[in-house]
Structure 1
Amino acid sequence: MRSLDLTAAVWHRSSYSNQDGGQCLEVACGFTAVIPVRDSKNPHGPTLAFAADGWSSFVSAVKDGAVGA
């Protein structure tokens, strides 16, 4: 497994995040093959990297109501 350099990543918080910052995730844009995702409450903690096509399928499923919260 190779390491992903996220030092220059620009993170965007979910529009579903509340004002208190609870249960939020952030996504870094600008990567072609993967989508880095992290917990906004722990920005220096672990990051998950999803294949771009897998992430797109997941987001579509959530929008369609196929994945519950």
Structure 2
Amino acid sequence: MTFPKDNAPAGVSVDGSLAAIGALNDQSVTAVPLKPSASMLAAGSRAGGVSVEIAWKIYQAMIRHAG
């Protein structure tokens, strides 16, 4: 099956999509939101003994360096 290039969003390819889906089959990889929910930040704050603001900075750093 082929799709016209002008119908695909910029930077999207079938090969790239298949690689991303394949990575999700790896048990050490999981999909997470780019912006955590308030409850995620609160849980991170409690677990790390830090403020919610610091938990947010830690989350951002982890997302930037994932991959």
TM-score (norm: length of structure 2): 0.29
TM-score (norm: length of structure 1): 0.29
Return the structure number with greater strand share: 1
Structure of greater Rg: 2
Return the structure number with greater helix share: 2
